[in-house]
Amino acid sequence: MGIVFTRLFPSLFGNKEARILVLGLDNAGKTTILSIGFNVETVQYNNIKFQVWDLGGQTSIRPYWRCYFPNTQAIIYVVDSSDTDRLVIAKDEFHAILEDLPGAVDAAVVTEALELHKIKNRQWAIFKTSAIKGEGLFEGLDW
In one-letter notation, the amino acid at residue 88 is V
* Residue 24 annotated as binding site: yes
Q: What is the pLDDT of residues 94-131, one digit of tens each?
A: 888 876 545 655 556 656 665 657 657 656 665 556 65
User: For residue 8, is pLDDT > 60?
Assistant: no
- pLDDT computed for residue 85 by the predictor: 93
Catalytic annotation, pick one of 51, 58, 73, 123: 58
> Which of 72, 105, 95, 82 has its CA nearest to residue 4?
95
Tell me which fold the domain 18-142 belongs to. Rossmann fold (3.40.50)
| 11 among annotated binding-site residues | no
Q: Is the pLDDT of residue 55 over 70?
A: yes
Known binding residue 27? Answer is: yes
Q: Could you confirm whether 58 is annotated as catalytic?
A: yes
Domain boundaries along the sequence of the chain: 18-142
Nearest Cα to Cα of residue 123 among 11, 1, 2, 44 = 11
Please tell me the pTM assigned to this model. 0.51
